[in-house]
Each structure stands twice: as structure tokens, then as C-alpha cells.
Structure 1
Amino acid sequence: MAFSSPNALDSLRQAIEFLPQGVAVFDAEARLVISNGRYQALLDLPSALVEPDTGLSDILAFLGERGDLGIGLVGDLASERISHLYAAPTSVMQLIGNAGQALELQSSRLPDGGLVISFSDVTQRIEAERALERMNQSLEQRVEERTAALTRVNAELESARAKADAANHDKTRFLAAASHDLLQPLNAARLYTSTLIERAKLTGLSDLANSIEASLTAVEEIMSALLDISRIDSGALKPAPAPVSARDLLKKMEVEFGPLARERNIALTIKDTDVAVLVDKALVGRIVQNLVSNAIKYTPPGGRVLVGIRRRGSRMRLDVVDTGIGFNRDQHRLLFAEFSRLERGARMAQGLGLGLSIVQRLVSAMGLTLELDSREGKGSRFSLFLPATRTIRTANNQGPAQPEASVGALDYKVLCVDNERAILEAMEGLLRHWGCDVRTALSLKQIDRERLLEGWYPDLVLMDYHLDQTSGLDAIEWLRHNLGGHLPAALVTADRSPAVRTLAEDRGIAVVTKPVKPAALRAAISGLANQSRSPAKRVG
């Protein structure tokens, strides 16, 4: 390797002295041309080995003797290192310095065959990399531990959720079973009380009988509300939308609330319609029941309640409008809170304030919209928006419901089947007082064993749902098979689940819920007795 002048070599030596790396330049014969002080310091070389013309082999032999090149014969280690340095245009390797520091060696072949070697102390970098690696390993371990902990917690939460769901399901089943057992004696009491009220008219016992009836009604409303809230909150109510005739939906309101409205001297108007909506009939029916019941309850005598449905864009708006006590805008939120009642409303009617809370829960469960408009002292409008669908034919379009018949005017043959003797006795007493010819049975076996239907064909059947050995629906099918396929029948049950109502409607069977309301029962009997039926067929 040649330099143009000694001055040029001195200039280069001065320049490389400022470099933080140790630098050495060797010629084509592997002899040292120039190096800086950093090179000598890093390799801890004696001064004799940094003189110009020192052979690379001598330097490597020194390092080998000192043990810097590893274990083996010094000559072999030096030759191997020289071959490695000259084998490739560039090379990079690491070695441990005499002071234990980590050194990084980089070599580059020069065009004339010479070699440039630089040394850098990379101890801090190596330590930082090792520290980072340890940190990463620690972090990975912590992530694994956290992941395991989260997995364990998630498993515990899932187990807890499953237990809570099971507990909710058990609670719902218990409430359903308990409600049936509780509503059975309440139903008998309501029937006995209804008979007592009618027989006690114009006597001193009339007020006492009406007070008993009011107390039983309050118990029924509380139980029904609590059961509805339990079913909604537990997720037991699963909406099943289907095309429904709005006429059928509203007609039921007229049948159920017409007698109550007339009793309170309130004009209840149900607007006829031929539209159809896509809803869960049972659940929407429950919403409208609560709204109409509230409208009648909080409208003074001489007032009006209007129920109708009209198209609004792509939806149908079902309105329940009254001329009742109303309320101001600040009271809107209070209306839907559980056990919350406005002072004036509490003075007008008994209750726990659960009806609108149930309405709000049902509206939310079905993804519907409920609007409210009211003026204190003027009245209220509750508007339920429902999805519209194509017009469908109503299953039984008989026009407006007939007015309630007077006492003693029901000249029908009625078969009552219930597995509770007290209910049968109460039902028989009430129906006979209304002028019906009644026969009762605890089961189908009793009907067959005592030949109750020989020479006697009922105009209609009132059947309990939960019988001892079969369901009321199957019992009605058995009677229709033996008496005639068009035998009118109603299922009288404390089971208020949508599934039972749907099964009954699919078979053309009306549903009367326990505790039985006399007005609703009279309306149901009148409607059933007017249905056409085929000629009787004797039970054989």
C-alpha cells in the first residue's frame, strides 16, 4: 500500500486518532501500515506490535498466546483467523477483549489486496440487548401468567354466569309453578265472590262482597305484574313476530274491557280496521291490555277512551287515547318506574304502579317504540309503533263484540273440567246463577266412567289446562273427536305463557286466564255459544 508522501501518512494517522473505533490498515502482505491509539488500547497490545511493518500473524500469535482467540494451537488459531479475514470482501465477528469487554471486529478488503480492520467496544450494546432479552422473557412470562389468570377468571365468570342463568331459569320455573298453585285458589275465590256479589245485590252484604272482590282483584294484579316482570327480566319471554290482524288484536280489548268501561260509565271506542302488523301477538296484546286498563282506571266517570290504529310512514301507530287525569312532562320518567304512582292517580285507583314498567320492558324486549303525549287534567295519548305487513284475513270476523248479557240470560249447556273441586263448585254456582245448564268433571275418566254426556250435548266446554293425566288441549281434542269436530271450547288456565296461548289458537281454542273475571267469562261464553257446530255424536 503506497501513500503519495510522508505528510499524507501523518495526516491520515492524525485523522484516525479522533475515531472512537480502533483502526488498523494492513498491506497486501498482511503487514501493518498504520493504526491509532484506540486500536492498541482495545487489544491491549505492546508498543512493539503496533509499529509499521508488524505482521498480522505476529499480532494474532500474541493474542492466541494470551487466550483471546479461544482454545487450540496458537499457530492454527492464527492461521484460521487470517484465512477468515481475507476470505471475503467484508466480515464481522465478535471476540472478548483482554479486559473482558465485548469487541466487534469489522474487516474490509482493499482494492490493492490490503486490509482495513476496525474494533468497537460493544459491551454496553451487548448488555443492553441481553437486558432487553431478559425483559422480553420476563414480559412474555408475565403475559403468560396474566393470560392464564384471565383465562381462569373468564372460566369462573362463565361458570358464575351459567349458575346465574340456571338460577334464573329455576326461579322462572318455580314462579310459573307457584303462580299456578296460587292462582287456583284465587280463581275459586273470585268465582265464589262473583256469585256472592250478584246474589247480594240490593242487600246489606253488597258493599262487603264488592270489597272482597276489590281485594282479590288487587292480589291478582300484583301477582300478574310480578310474574310478568320476572319472565321479562329472566329472558324467558322470547318474541316470535308473525302477521297479525289488528282487528283481532283490538277486538280482544273490547271483549275484555267493555264490561268494565260500562260499569264505570266510560265510553270505550275501538276503531275497526283491516290492517295487519308483524308482531308477537301475545306480548303486544299484553302491552295494549296494560295501556287500556290504565286509561279506564284513570279516567273519571263520563269520560272517553279511544283505541285505534293508523299508518304512519312504513309503520302502524296504535293509539290509546283517554280524557283522564293526565300528567305534565316532568312526570313522564316517573310513570315508568317500578312502584311509582302519581299522587292524583293513587287517590283514584288501587295498584302498585307496575303496569307501565311492564309495558316499557316489553317494548324494549321487542325493539318497538312507545311515544307519550299528555296534558294534566286533559288526558293522555300512548302511541305504540308496530311494523306493518300485508293485509291478512282475520280468523273469525264476527263484527263488534255483543254487549254483555243480563244476569240469568245465558241459556247454554256448559261442560266444565278442572282438577280442583273447589273451582268446579264455584264455577258451577256462578254459571247456574247465570241460567246455564252445567255439568262438571275432574277428568276425562270421570266423564267416561259416569257417562256424563249420554243424552246431553254441551253447547261449549270450559277446560282447565293442567289436568292430572293429560293437558286441557288434548282433552278438548278427545271431546271433539267423540262429540263433533266443531265443539266450541275455551281453555281456562293460570298458565299465561305465550306458548300455551299459541298452541290453543292454532287449534281454534279460546283462552280465558285465571283468576277468571266474570265479565270476561260471560263474553267468552256468549262468543263460544254463537259458534256453529256439527250435530252431536254420542260418547260410546
Structure 2
Amino acid sequence: MPLHPEDPASALRLAMDHIQLGVAVFDAGLRLVVSNRNYNHLLALPADLTRPGTALFDIALFMAERGDLGAGDAARLAIERINALTASPTTVTQRLGHGGQALEFHSSRLPDGGLAISFADVTAKVHVEQQLAQVNQNLERRVEERTSALRQVNAELEVARAKADASNHDKTRFLAAASHDLLQPLNAARLYTSTLIERAKSTAFAELANSIEASLTAVEDIMSALLDISRIDSGAIKPAPVPMAAQDLLKKTEVEFAPMARERSIALRIVPAAATVLADKAYVGRIVQNLVSNAIKYTPVGGKVLVGLRRRGNRWRLDVIDTGIGFNRDQHKLVFAEFSRLERGARMAQGLGLGLSIVQRLVTALGLTLELDSREGHGSRFSIYLPAVRHARPAGATELAAPEPGFGTLSLRVLCVDNERAILEAMEGLLAHWGCDVRTALSLKQIDRERLLEGWYPDLVLMDYHLDQTSGLDAIEWLRHNVGGHLPAALVTADRSPAVRALAEERGVAVITKPVKPAALRATISGLANQSGRGTQRPN
């Protein structure tokens, strides 16, 4: 039908019949004014219900009786449907059509009270929404399943971690207990050997005694390294950095390694430093021990080892420099690997190659920086960086940093207490050879029972930590209470835990670790003798 501009109503009716929406207009009495073709077709209305003047109620009742509006009383359903369309100025509702399609209705109240209704077949849209909802539901189900699986895996990992932690804790406890039991006889053996070495000088047995000492030292080094690695890997290390005087660390290094360097004809130079650093004394000390020990081991006879500090910004760089065999850049990672040593180094010194592995582990555990510079055939520089501290009072040294003693005869009264008779005998033999007046006891009860201190006042006491009925620190307190509050004392123990060292430091007690090194023992005794005012030696 052609459009005629002079007949706007016909043009509008033609346009309404060609749009996809179903459209109908009702007057204020809710009677049909006009509807388009799609309205009549989509609702499948009979011709008598599409005539102008048809009541909306009649149309709704017809659809209710046909079942379009669901189950129930048709009149009630028709009224409910009309109320839904007219309850608000505008409404949007959905329901199923006679053919099962999804219809979406938009209704608007007109200014004169009438009602305009438009609707469309949204079956495809609903189908897409349902598919999206199903996809979302599937995704949510898969997320929930994976989350549940992840929770299960996490729970299993947590159980496995707990078991691993318990296993590591048990291993650490076992190694600590085993190390104590193993180090006790090793300690006695080293003390006996030290006495043998001193008495066998210039005899045919000197070389044999030195060989035994070297073998015992190798066993001790291996045990100490394995214990350190176990302690680090099990997470037993709890760093406790405090302000400390770097000079205390340097002096302790000199006392410990000067005899070793002198024996190998190596010039060990410790550069004094008036620096205060923030460091864990025990573990940084262990790092420096390993670095200096390695430097001396792998420096040829007549070489040099230098230990000192340099200021670098707000940090101090602690250097251990040697004129040893060195290595090239391609071998840097190799030197830090466990049980790995360079061929030339293996020919120069015994061991398992664990020292630098321990250094790297400790540096990582303490959050420090390790720097390495080396040239094959020219030497190496190993450096660690320590935070500088200003205007802080350094913590007291746990161990005495006495100067390296001479080789004169000591004139000291020494009380030794240990629950191992073999250790007491070995200690007594060594100290007596140094000119000491020695008394020994297995326990405090023996001291009291045999009245060992009657008429005999010790200049110092060397006390085992793990006694049968009390700790060595408590035993020292008992002795100080009964003998004298200023009695100098050293704790001799195979327990290398920081906790024991901290307790000893609080009570003003030095610490000597087993197996006892004669040089360290003599240095500690000299320091304790200075405390008691008996720091003199008779020259041989």
C-alpha cells in the first residue's frame, strides 16, 4: 500500500504493521484503541479480540483460559496479569507465549490514563542468556572444584611441610646429641695428642704425634661442617644482630689462627679497626673463621693472608685477602658447591670442600652480601659487607680476645670439672705440662665430698656445660657463691648453639668449644689469669 502524506493515520498504521515489535494502545478504560499485525500474530488472538473497543480483561482472560498465564483460576490470572502491566508508570515483564517462545513486555501509562504495550520475541536472547548462565555455572563449578583441589593440595603440602619440619627438628636434635657424644671422645683424644706433641718434640715420635693431630683435626672439621650445614638447612639459625666492635672479632681471629699460620710459614696480618658493626657475633665469626681457614690452607708456604675492614658508604667491607692459588671466573660457582674442590686445592689440603658452602649458606641466612675477586695463580679476596653503627655501645665479647700467649710456663691453679674421666685426665696432663696446679672433679658433689677446695683456692675454673645433675653455668654460680664471686671461669662445651653462648655472656663466662684447640685454650686461660691478677708466666 503506498503511503499518502495527506493520510498520516494510514501511514502510521502501515509503519506499525512492519515493525518487529507487537504494539497495542488501550484507552483510559483499558479498551483496545489500536494494535499492529505482530501484536495479533505473536499473541495468536482471534479476530474478535483484535477489534477496537475490545476490553483488555477479555484478551487477558482468553490467554489465561488458553494456559498462557499458567495454572489456576483464569479470571484471577487475568486480573493479576492486568495488575502487573498497570501497577507502575512503566513496567517490564517476561512470560512464555502460546508457542512456547519467550516474550518481553514493556508497558507505559499514558497521560490520559490509557496504556501503551509493546513486546518482542526474545527467545534467542533468553537462550543466549541461559547458555551464558550455564557457562558461568560451569565455570563456577570448575573454579570451585579446582579451589577444592587446591585446598586439598595445600592441606597435603601443609601436612608434608609439618612432617618435614618435624623431621628436620628431629634430625637437628639428633645431630646435636650425636655431636656432643662424638665430640667428647674426640676432645679427649685431641687433648692427649696435644700433650703427646709437646712431650715428643725433638724425638722420633714427633712426626707420628703431628700426623695423629692432623687426622683428628680433619675429623673435627668435617663434623663441624656437617653440623653447620644441617643447622642452616633445617632453619635453626635465628640471626640476632647486635652492635659489636669489629676489633673483638679481628683479635679473636688472630688468636685462633696465628699458630696455624706460623706452622705453615704464612704471614697472617690482622689490620686493627676502630669500627662498630651490626652483626650476629656467633655466625659472622663462623663466616670469618671459614674464610681465614681456607685462605691459610690454600696459600703456599711463604705466602700472605690479610684480614681487615674498609669503609664503603654506610657499610664496612670485611676483607680476607690471600696470595694463594686463586681461581678463574668460570670456577666461582664451583668453589661454593658442597663436596667440590679444585684439583690444585685438593692436592694442597685435606677436607670435603664444605667451608665455602657453609659461608654462602650463612651469608644468605643472615641477609648479608658476599663479594669475591680472584685470579688464578695470584690469590683471592673474599669480602662480606656489614652495616656500620654510629654512637652505639658494642656488646661485650662472648669469648675472651686475649693476645696470643707466649710459650712460657703457666703458674696457675686450675679447677677442671667434666663428667668424662678421660677428658679430665687428658686436660690434667696438658695443663700440668704447662706448669699448672690442676685439680679435677666429675661433679660438684665430688668437690664437696672430697673437700677439694679446702686450703686450695683456684685461679680459674674450666667447666663442662652438660654435667650429669646440673648445667655448667649453674655449677659456676655455685662455685662463685662458695669460693668467691670473682672466680674467672670458662665453659668448655660441645654445644655450639647461640643460646648457650648468650647465657654464658650474661654471666661473664668465656666459652671454649670442644674439641679444644690447645692454642685457643691457652689464650683463654691467659685472659682468665689476667682477670684474677695471676697473668704472669715463668719462662722455660
Deviation at 1:78, TM superposition (A): 5.2
Per-residue displacement from partner, 1:293-315 (whole Å, max 9, x unpaired)?
11111122222222222322211
Matched, 1:210 2:210: yes
Alpha-carbon distance in 1 for matches of 2:521, 2:83: 111
Matched, 1:156 2:156: yes
Deviation at 1:217, TM superposition (A): 0.8
Alpha-carbon distance in 1 for matches of 2:410, 2:80: 121
Partner of 1:254: 254
Deviation at 1:254, TM superposition (A): 1.3
Is 2:197–2:206's contact at 8 Å kept on the other side of the alignment? yes
SS at match of 2:296: helix
Matched, 1:418 2:444: no
Alpha-carbon distance in 2 for matches of 1:399, 1:95: 94
Deviates more, 1:117-126 or 1:323-332: 117-126
Per-residue displacement from partner, 1:491-540 (whole Å, max 9, x unpaired)?
11111111111222222222111111122222222222232359xxxxxx
Alpha-carbon distance in 2 for matches of 1:82, 1:416: 108
List aligned pairs for 1:16-27, cutoff 5 A.
Answer: 16-27=16-27
Is 1:23–1:38's contact at 8 Å kept on the other side of the alignment? yes
Is 1:412–1:435's contact at 8 Å kept on the other side of the alignment? yes
Deviation at 1:218, TM superposition (A): 0.7
The runs of 5 or more residues in structure 2 that have no matched partner are 535-540
Deviates more, 1:239-248 or 1:383-392: 383-392
Is 2:106–2:117's contact at 8 Å kept on the other side of the alignment? yes
Matched, 1:200 2:200: yes
In structure 2, relative to structure 1, the CA distance for the partners of 1:75 and 1:309 (3 Å cut) is closer
Deviation at 1:372, TM superposition (A): 1.7
Per-residue displacement from partner, 1:42-88 (whole Å, max 9, x unpaired)?
12122343344545454344334434355666666656655665665
In structure 2, relative to structure 1, the CA distance for the partners of 1:9 and 1:350 (3 Å cut) is same
CA RMSD, 1 decimal: 2.8
Deviates more, 1:189-198 or 1:96-105: 96-105
Matched, 1:302 2:302: yes
Alpha-carbon distance in 1 for matches of 2:87, 2:400: 107
SS at match of 2:118: strand
Alpha-carbon distance in 1 for matches of 2:38, 2:159: 68
Partner of 2:403: 401
Partner of 1:532: 532
Deviation at 1:325, TM superposition (A): 1.8
The aligned length equals: 529
Is 1:325–1:376's contact at 8 Å kept on the other side of the alignment? yes
Deviates more, 1:73-82 or 1:125-134: 73-82
Alpha-carbon distance in 1 for matches of 2:30, 2:500: 102
1:448 corresponds to which letter in structure 2? Answer: D
In structure 2, relative to structure 1, the CA distance for the partners of 1:215 and 1:50 (3 Å cut) is same
Is 1:316–1:387's contact at 8 Å kept on the other side of the alignment? yes
SS at match of 1:207: helix
Partner of 2:172: 172
Partner of 1:537: none
TM-score, structure 1 length as denominator? 0.90
In structure 2, relative to structure 1, the CA distance for the partners of 1:93 and 1:527 (3 Å cut) is closer
Partner of 2:238: 238
2:428 corresponds to which letter in structure 1? Answer: E
Alpha-carbon distance in 2 for matches of 1:495, 1:377: 39
Runs of 4+ in 1 over 6 A off after TM superposition: 396-400
Alpha-carbon distance in 2 for matches of 1:304, 1:86: 103
Per-residue displacement from partner, 1:118-140 (whole Å, max 9, x unpaired)?
23223333444444445545544
Partner of 1:511: 511
Partner of 1:59: 59
In structure 2, relative to structure 1, the CA distance for the partners of 1:123 and 1:454 (3 Å cut) is same
Per-residue displacement from partner, 1:16-51 (whole Å, max 9, x unpaired)?
122112223345565544333222221212234334
SS at match of 1:299: coil
TM-score, structure 2 length as denominator? 0.90
Partner of 1:337: 337
Alpha-carbon distance in 2 for matches of 1:123, 1:398: 91
Deviates more, 1:430-439 or 1:63-72: 63-72
Matched, 1:353 2:357: no
Alpha-carbon distance in 1 for matches of 2:87, 2:414: 114
Partner of 1:181: 181
Partner of 2:15: 15
List aligned pairs for 1:103-122, cutoff 5 A.
Answer: 103-112=103-112, 114-122=114-122
In structure 2, relative to structure 1, the CA distance for the partners of 1:69 and 1:379 (3 Å cut) is closer
Partner of 1:538: none
Is 1:414–1:438's contact at 8 Å kept on the other side of the alignment? yes
Partner of 1:443: 443
Per-residue displacement from partner, 1:240-293 (whole Å, max 9, x unpaired)?
111111121111111111111111112222222322111111111111111111
Is 2:400–2:524's contact at 8 Å kept on the other side of the alignment? no
Deviation at 1:172, TM superposition (A): 0.9
Alpha-carbon distance in 2 for matches of 1:399, 1:416: 21
2:303 corresponds to which letter in structure 1? Answer: G
2:406 corresponds to which letter in structure 1? Answer: E
2:329 corresponds to which letter in structure 1? Answer: R
2:306 corresponds to which letter in structure 1? Answer: L
2:485 corresponds to which letter in structure 1? Answer: G
Deviation at 1:449, TM superposition (A): 0.7
Deviation at 1:349, TM superposition (A): 0.8
1:422 corresponds to which letter in structure 2? Answer: A
Deviation at 1:142, TM superposition (A): 4.3
Is 1:247–1:394's contact at 8 Å kept on the other side of the alignment? no
Per-residue displacement from partner, 1:155-191 (whole Å, max 9, x unpaired)?
3322222222122111111111110000001111111
Per-residue displacement from partner, 1:452-479 (whole Å, max 9, x unpaired)?
1222222221111111111111112222
SS at match of 2:386: strand
Is 2:244–2:394's contact at 8 Å kept on the other side of the alignment? no
Taking every aligned residue pair, what percent have the same amino acid on both sides? Answer: 74
SS at match of 2:414: strand
Is 2:305–2:320's contact at 8 Å kept on the other side of the alignment? yes
2:407 corresponds to which letter in structure 1? Answer: A
Is 2:405–2:522's contact at 8 Å kept on the other side of the alignment? no
Deviates more, 1:116-125 or 1:502-511: 116-125
Alpha-carbon distance in 1 for matches of 2:70, 2:479: 105
Alpha-carbon distance in 1 for matches of 2:396, 2:49: 113
Alpha-carbon distance in 2 for matches of 1:55, 1:485: 115
SS at match of 1:530: helix
In structure 2, relative to structure 1, the CA distance for the partners of 1:87 and 1:481 (3 Å cut) is closer
Per-residue displacement from partner, 1:369-417 (whole Å, max 9, x unpaired)?
12222222222222221111236478589997144315xx223222111
Matched, 1:225 2:225: yes
In structure 2, relative to structure 1, the CA distance for the partners of 1:294 and 1:48 (3 Å cut) is same
Partner of 2:478: 478
In structure 2, relative to structure 1, the CA distance for the partners of 1:59 and 1:384 (3 Å cut) is closer
SS at match of 2:532: coil
